[in-house]
Structure 1
Amino acid sequence: MSNWSEHAYYWFQKPESETKVRLEEIDWYKRAAENGNKEAMNKLAVRYKNGKGTEKHLERAFYWFQKAAENGNKNAMNKLAICYQDGEGTEKNLEKAFYWYQKAAENGNEVAMYNLASCYYNGDGIEKNSEKVFYWFRKAAENGDKYAMNMLAMCYEYGEGIEKNSEKAFYWSFYWCQKAAENGNEVAMYNLALHYYNDKGTGNNLKNAFYWCQKAAECDNKFAMYNLAAYYYKGEGTEKNLEKVFYWCQKAAVNGNEGAMYSLASFYYNGEGTEKNLENAFYWYKKTAENGYKNAMYNLAMCFENGKGTKKNLNNAYYWYQKAAENGNRDAMNELAKCYKNEKGTEKNFEKAYYWYQKAAEIGNGNAMNELAKCYQNGEGTEKNLEKAFYWYQKAAENGDKEAMNNLAICFENGKGIKKNLEKAFYWYQKAAEGDYNEAQYRLALLYENGQGTKRNLEKAFYWRQKAMENSENIPEYLIIDESCNECKRLYINYKWCQQCNPKKFQREFSNWTSENEYIDKFIKEAQINAKNSYEVLEWIPYNKLEKVNYYDKGGFSEIYKAIWLDGPIDSWNSDKQQWNRWSHNDNSQIGYVVILKILNNSSNLNNNFLNEVRYLLFMSKFVSFVIQDL
């Protein structure tokens, strides 16, 4: 090429990344532009605008954009509109900006189409017109503008200039994300991962979701980092890996993601994915709390209250419970109420305790419901109201609070705030007892013992009383005030069982019975002297104390029979009558106690081999065993 026009054509056809800008290049653009080459005019304007190969000069840029636009260069039309819109190289003029955007758009410039739609949306240089917003975003999107694709999706989603259409909204949003993600846009990568994850028409492809989330995270998108940690935590789209959970959570936290900061604190606190480190947990809870994260405020308060990762400080605990409560954390509301009630980090104030219990209860905190009921029951911070106390006990019990179940049962048993109903009292004591609430276990035993709200069942009474007494310090003293022997005044070692007195009572009766077998006599006497509760007692039962003896089954040694023992087994000592209380009434209707009998021929010849089997049965079962004379 020999003339200047051909040289200019060579320069402006080269890709920008390959063009080494030199002064002679600018000279060729000038000559070609002055000779009427519209492409050279546009290229020269760009050089003046960006200061490449020459000094930056916005007025000259505007001049050559205008010349190129007037000569029909659609890219220059869009650039000229930008000059008018931003007031670069000329006075700001939104009407002229709109005019040139429209010219460029009508000539097929997709960026100008996007900008023209924005003018209609914002009312820049023209009246707002949602139909034309939609029209030009759609034109731009159909011409490949990825940002227009996203805006078109929003038009469909929110009904901007067109009826709402979630399917088309998804199509354009997904298509834009895909195109932009493939071109390295980390925001688009993140959104594309969300599309795949949420299964909005993409087959719920978790592997694709994981892939794009990982790509976005590797491009330092803090939200993607946190979500990538979640993929590893749940094992979605990849194998579960707690170390990688911790790694990406830490990356996201360092990059300022508040959710990641909070999770990182929890990982340090629980030793999940890393070694347990309460100091680091405290550090991250504090950072997140100071950023206004209400759950972190609550956890930070707990650290201060319990001295976890920092020195115990009830004043600071109270401060952060208050901050978290004021920000809507219901557990913090409950703890703040406790601070006021128990004078922790602040002055005792029953009215404020009641206020915060009520706030927490109304948004579903079960413990607060129970505590609010106590406020109404005892008139603390509010007027006494047994009906409201019952209401909140019931709400808390239905919400799974074991103490509330016990308190609700007491209401039903005593008719407080509700009509007395022993069957419902039994039901709620049983629910609480099965949840290992000791007081309820003890009260349930009393109902079984007295046949209140259920059939009398001394075996179950014994069972629940024994369970309750395993942690008797949790049972109110007034309930177990009779748990000592009336004669020696020592505490019972089990339900109404005095290890000091009961062996003596058995020994006094030794001369009044015999099985006529030295092994059996010795065996029964040892069992009676060493018994630590009524279940471990063995007795010699005369046959005339049995009724309704009927065949039942075939056993290992002999035939098995079923019968009614009229007296029933020993339960406890009756000091007033100076005799044993017996289980002669197994429920409210049947007199006597059902027993299983084995027929043993010539029992006087039985030896230790047989008695060893009995010992084994005693060891394996809590049920009472009895020895009965030959039939």
Structure 2
Amino acid sequence: MEEYFESKNKYCSNNNNENQIDYDKKKELIELNNLGHCYQYGIGKKKDLFKSFEYYLKSAKGGNIDAQNNLGYCYQNGIGIIKDEKKAFEWYFKSANEGNIHAQYNLGICYQNGIGIKKDDKESFEWYFKSAEGGYSLAQNILGDYYQNIEKDLEKSIYWYEKSAENGNKLSQYKLDSQYELGYCYENGIGVDTNLIKAFKLYTIASEKGQTAAQSALGTLYKNGKYIKLDLAKAIYWYNKAAENGCKIAQYNLAYYYKHGISVKRDDVKSFEYFKKSAKQGHLEAQFELGYCYDKGLGTEVDKTKAFELYKITAERGHNIGQSNLGILYQSGVGTEIDPEKAVYWHNNAAENGVIAAQYNLGVCYYNGFGVEKNEKKAFEYYEMASDKGFLNAQFELGNCYYLGIGIEINKDKSFELYKIAAERGLNVAKSKIGYLYENGEGTEKDLVQAIYWYRKAAENGCELALHNL
């Protein structure tokens, strides 16, 4: 009996010793991994990437899965060792198979991008999925993107975005991204019923944590005042926050507010500066507006060359008014050399997309044979097109067409109507012309009182011909 208990005690003692040894070994491996981390980032130690790698290697070889993942990272990025993507993959694989969610995520990246292994989207997805199921918010965010953009399964997309948002304590930045994505889904009815209240709440949470896109979106909700009380002051506050963080949309919106004095004092200089910041990031409307600032000297000195450069960028990117303005500069030779063919080319592009000024300028080109063969009928058609949409100069030129028979039979009555419209809208040359028609009874009954009235109107604004006729 004593021998029996003696043997049992020996067994228990030996087992406890083994457990202690195992615990001490694991503790040592954790400490080695932590030392690697300290040397890698210079935390309490002088930064030394070679030592960092050595400690990770010792810990990883001992079986520490965090160190194995860290070692893979070192091999992938050449930290303390020559870059070796194949070895990076091998260490990620070891760690991932033992359940390390970060290594599983990194393995997903390897398979997705062919890092150390042949590209394999199916394997990539499976490892991202394992990492996401383990609670890694970055992998969850990736799955949200995948289901939204690839599989078009928006319910699953939202599910993973929500999971990622819930795990904000692990990776707060990815939580914010996911909350913004989820808010965007609710705002636009993507995969769910549109719910601006939920969108507002999600944008607010993300905005208060510094998520730039959410700050800009929140500003827009306050600006539009749909389901949320209209509050331009708060809109500007959040646009400012987003603009400070480099959001080109918010920068553009602030520029627009300062340009038009919306809830802020009009300030062309501030408007110009925000347009400039946004334009540098490729915002199309901002690039156009910046060109316009240089063209007209708003918030800066006039610089027609810079205006030309920016109009050209926007025109080539499909901005209709940019195309029209570029055509004008080629037509006038301002900021660049006169080029009739290019002027007509850009006027055509803009006119086809409904830009009234371009339609008018095409009429001018056809009338004068500038960049195209002279064609009075086409000139008339383009003048009429622009006139019907209320373009002032086109209304006057169409009046000339009817008066002189340019591309259409002479019709003095129509001519009078169009001159009168243009005159009443303030076009000085039209005032003088309508005075002449009243004086001579063309297109209307002769009326010297009206003739004198319109001549005086034109003369007051510097029309020498009207002054002479008076």
The TM-score, its normalising length taken from structure 1, stands at 0.57
> Where do residues 566-585 of structure 1 align in structure 2 (5 Å cutoff)?
none
* SS of aligned partner of 2:186: helix
Residue 37 of structure 1 corresponds to: 17
Residue 156 of structure 1 corresponds to: 111
- The partner residue of 1:102 within 55, 58, 61 is 61
> Where do residues 285-300 of structure 1 align in structure 2 (5 Å cutoff)?
285-300=239-254
**Would the aligned equivalents of 2:288 and 2:310 in 1 still touch at CA under 8 Å?**
yes
- The partner residue of 1:82 within 17, 33, 38 is 33
Deviation string 1:42-79 (CA, Å, 9 cap, x unpaired) is: 44xxxxxxxxxxxxxxxxxxxx43xxxxxxxxx46743
Q: For residues 196 and 282 of structure 1, do their structure 2 counterparts lie closer, same or farther at Cα, with a shift above 3 Å needed?
A: same
Q: For residues 417 and 93 of structure 1, do their structure 2 counterparts lie closer, same or farther at Cα, with a shift above 3 Å needed?
A: closer
- The partner residue of 1:209 within 134, 149, 157 is 157
- The partner residue of 2:272 within 318, 324, 327 is 318
The structure carrying a bigger strand percent of its residues is 1
> Where do residues 50-449 of structure 1 align in structure 2 (5 Å cutoff)?
64-65=24-25, 75=26, 78-79=29-30, 81-82=32-33, 85=36, 92=51, 94-95=53-54, 97-99=56-58, 101-104=60-63, 111=66, 113-115=68-70, 117-118=72-73, 120-121=75-76, 128-177=83-132, 179-181=133-135, 185-200=136-151, 204-220=152-168, 221-422=175-376, 424-426=378-380, 428-429=382-383, 431-433=385-387, 435-440=389-394, 443=397
Counterparts of 2:440 and 2:401, CA distance in 1: 26
Counterparts of 2:281 and 2:38, CA distance in 1: 45
Counterparts of 1:283 and 1:317, CA distance in 2: 16
Counterparts of 1:284 and 1:312, CA distance in 2: 19
Letter of the 2:161 partner, please give it: C
Letter of the 1:317 partner, please give it: S
Counterparts of 1:335 and 1:293, CA distance in 2: 17
**Would the aligned equivalents of 2:419 and 2:430 in 1 still touch at CA under 8 Å?**
no
Counterparts of 2:446 and 2:237, CA distance in 1: 56
Identical counterparts, % of pairs = 31
Counterparts of 1:193 and 1:207, CA distance in 2: 9
Counterparts of 2:205 and 2:91, CA distance in 1: 41
Letter of the 1:161 partner, please give it: G
Letter of the 1:373 partner, please give it: G
Following TM superposition, by how much is the alpha carbon of 1:424 offset from its aligned partner in structure 2, in angstroms?
4.2
Deviation string 1:349-381 (CA, Å, 9 cap, x unpaired) is: 444444444444444433233233333333434
Question: How many residue pairs are counted as aligned between the two chains?
Answer: 428
Q: For residues 391 and 145 of structure 1, do their structure 2 counterparts lie closer, same or farther at Cα, with a shift above 3 Å needed?
A: same
Letter of the 1:244 partner, please give it: K
Structure with larger Rg: 1
Q: For residues 173 and 254 of structure 1, do their structure 2 counterparts lie closer, same or farther at Cα, with a shift above 3 Å needed?
A: same
**Would the aligned equivalents of 2:438 and 2:444 in 1 still touch at CA under 8 Å?**
no
Counterparts of 1:253 and 1:142, CA distance in 2: 38
Uncovered stretches (5+) of structure 1, i.e. residues with no partner? 10-31, 44-63, 66-74, 502-631
**Would the aligned equivalents of 1:289 and 1:297 in 2 still touch at CA under 8 Å?**
yes
Deviation string 1:223-256 (CA, Å, 9 cap, x unpaired) is: 1221112111121222112222222222222211
Counterparts of 2:269 and 2:93, CA distance in 1: 60
**Would the aligned equivalents of 1:243 and 1:274 in 2 still touch at CA under 8 Å?**
yes
> Where do residues 475-486 of structure 1 align in structure 2 (5 Å cutoff)?
476-478=427-429, 481-483=432-434, 486=437
Q: For residues 440 and 218 of structure 1, do their structure 2 counterparts lie closer, same or farther at Cα, with a shift above 3 Å needed?
A: farther
Letter of the 2:270 partner, please give it: N
Counterparts of 1:249 and 1:499, CA distance in 2: 68
Q: For residues 95 and 248 of structure 1, do their structure 2 counterparts lie closer, same or farther at Cα, with a shift above 3 Å needed?
A: closer
Following TM superposition, by how much is the alpha carbon of 1:403 offset from its aligned partner in structure 2, in angstroms?
0.7
Aligned-residue CA RMSD (Å): 4.3
* SS of aligned partner of 1:37: helix
Deviation string 1:103-152 (CA, Å, 9 cap, x unpaired) is: 53xxxx75565455445435678765433433343344344333222122
**Would the aligned equivalents of 1:114 and 1:137 in 2 still touch at CA under 8 Å?**
yes
The TM-score, its normalising length taken from structure 2, stands at 0.74
The structure carrying a bigger helix percent of its residues is 2
Counterparts of 1:242 and 1:465, CA distance in 2: 54
Counterparts of 2:27 and 2:207, CA distance in 1: 45
Q: For residues 423 and 205 of structure 1, do their structure 2 counterparts lie closer, same or farther at Cα, with a shift above 3 Å needed?
A: same
Q: For residues 467 and 132 of structure 1, do their structure 2 counterparts lie closer, same or farther at Cα, with a shift above 3 Å needed?
A: farther
**Would the aligned equivalents of 2:438 and 2:445 in 1 still touch at CA under 8 Å?**
no
Counterparts of 1:473 and 1:153, CA distance in 2: 70
Following TM superposition, by how much is the alpha carbon of 1:274 offset from its aligned partner in structure 2, in angstroms?
1.7
Residue 464 of structure 2 corresponds to: none
Counterparts of 2:300 and 2:31, CA distance in 1: 67
Counterparts of 2:322 and 2:290, CA distance in 1: 11
Letter of the 2:158 partner, please give it: F
Q: For residues 351 and 137 of structure 1, do their structure 2 counterparts lie closer, same or farther at Cα, with a shift above 3 Å needed?
A: closer
Counterparts of 1:218 and 1:133, CA distance in 2: 31
